[in-house]
């Protein structure tokens, strides 16, 4: 990793790893859950934060983008790390159970995990904090782990404090404030996009194609299904809708327009597979497995159907996308989120796309 500077509040630069091959994974066994990649790579997003008073910042090294030592009484100390890993890097359940094993606790189920999650804020976005208290396997001392995960643009960020139980409890408010201080400069939000295609997730990523939202293109006339709530979608989206299912499960519908072919079918499908669903890329010959052709009033379109794990939440997710080429432009409709909600709303989504008049 290359780290630029160690002053608090300054931009930290590091290299994000490329994913391991299966052979590499077998050669380097460790405590990482399935989905963790190797740590040698070339991309370099940036991170900004403010270190709390009393925390001693140290050179990160290894996989860390930031590292602190927190002194306590009688020589006790806690370790704080910030580790970015590309891809899904395991689900929240995988990681929490790995941390529980580090302090001698048994694993938990998905239902138990939901009860353990404490709401926190990282970079102005909601996240979950998980707290594990047990015994250090090496020393036999009482130990505590505070850990939070946020997922951005295909990278999982792990914020973790580990140390003597009483000290970590004492420093918990400072750790939460540290999480709040984190920010990701615009350069860190840049995603790998097909040429001339804008992002479809409503984030702060920058694109070069003119979209309907940024060019003044009016929305198509369409019939919005009952229960869909239109919400702000960012400068690259024509429209964005929030959908809610049972137990407050969520999905979103994003609509965007790009000039020409928007980067092409293969590039977009592989971007969705690799950066949003944790799937491997496919060759052009394999595209028909994920795609079918449908007839719309505006012409023939491609319907993409993918299932994987949401890169932001680590939970099972489904993506349905309709790509409609039109003269000089391409329209993208994407329904993505909780798999049950996507299945529930699939018919309504297709009717919505069919109702659009340009």
- The residue that leads in pLDDT, 38 or 315, is 315
pLDDT-derived band at 89, boundaries 50, 70, 90: low
Residue 150 has pLDDT above 50, yes or no: yes
- Per residue in 6-18, pLDDT (tens digit) is 444 444 444 444 3
Lowest mean pLDDT among 56-65, 187-196, 269-278, 334-343: 187-196
Residue 205 has pLDDT above 80, yes or no: no
Question: Can you give the pTM of this predicted structure?
Answer: 0.47
- Per residue in 210-247, pLDDT (tens digit) is 333 333 456 899 999 999 999 887 667 889 999 999 88
Residues 6 or more apart from 255 whose CB is under 8 A from it? 219, 237, 238, 239, 240, 331, 332, 333, 334
- The residue that leads in pLDDT, 169 or 313, is 169
Q: What is the average pLDDT across 241-268?
A: 88
pLDDT-derived band at 348, boundaries 50, 70, 90: very high
Q: What is the average pLDDT across 235-263?
A: 87
- The residue that leads in pLDDT, 79 or 3, is 79
pLDDT (0 to 100) of residue 126: 85
pLDDT (0 to 100) of residue 41: 36
The full set of domains in the chain, from first to last, is 12-188 (2.60.120.1690), 192-355 (3.40.1000.10)
pLDDT-derived band at 24, boundaries 50, 70, 90: very low
> Which range among 42-51, 109-118, 231-240 has the greatest average pLDDT?
109-118
pLDDT (0 to 100) of residue 181: 93
Residue 5 has pLDDT above 50, yes or no: no
State what percent of residues in the chain have pLDDT above 90.
37
Residue 281 has pLDDT above 50, yes or no: yes
């Amino acid at each position: 990793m290359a780290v630029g500077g160690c002053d608090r509040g300054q931009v930290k630069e590091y290299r994000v790893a490329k994913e391991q091959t299966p052979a590499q994974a077998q050669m380097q066994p460790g405590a990482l859950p399935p989905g963790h990649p190797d740590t040698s790579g070339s991309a370099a997003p940036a991170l900004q934060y403010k270190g709390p008073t009393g925390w001693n910042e140290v050179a990160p090294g290894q996989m860390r983008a930031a590292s602190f030592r927190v002194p306590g009484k009688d020589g006790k100390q806690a370790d704080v790390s910030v580790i970015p890993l590309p891809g899904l890097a395991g689900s929240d359940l995988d990681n929490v159970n790995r941390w529980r094993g580090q302090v001698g606790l048994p694993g938990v189920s998905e239902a138990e995990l939901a009860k353990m999650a404490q709401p926190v804020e990282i970079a102005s976005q909601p996240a979950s904090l998980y707290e594990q208290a047990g015994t250090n396997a090496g020393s036999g001392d009482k130990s505590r782990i505070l850990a939070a995960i946020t997922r951005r643009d295909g990278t999982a960020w792990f914020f973790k404090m580990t140390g003597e139980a009483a000290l970590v409890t004492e420093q918990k408010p400072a750790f939460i404030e540290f999480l709040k201080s984190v920010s990701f400069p615009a350069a860190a939000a840049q995603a790998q996009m097909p040429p001339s295609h804008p992002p479809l997730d409503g984030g702060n990523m920058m694109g070069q194609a003119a979209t309907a939202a940024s060019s003044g293109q009016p929305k198509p006339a369409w019939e919005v299904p009952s229960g869909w709530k239109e919400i702000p979608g960012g400068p690259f989206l024509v429209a964005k809708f929030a959908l809610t299912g049972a137990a407050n499960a969520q999905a979103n519908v994003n609509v965007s327009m790009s000039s020409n072919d928007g980067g092409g079918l293969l590039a977009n499908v592989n971007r969705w597979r690799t950066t949003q669903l944790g799937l491997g890329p496919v060759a052009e010959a394999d595209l028909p497995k994920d795609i079918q052709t449908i007839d719309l009033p505006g012409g023939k379109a491609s319907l993409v159907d993918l299932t994987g794990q949401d890169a932001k939440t680590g939970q099972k997710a489904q993506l349905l996308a309709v790509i409609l080429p039109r003269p000089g432009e391409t329209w993208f409709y994407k329904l993505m989120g909780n798999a049950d909600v996507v299945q529930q709303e699939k018919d309504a989504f297709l009717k919505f796309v069919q109702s659009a008049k340009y």
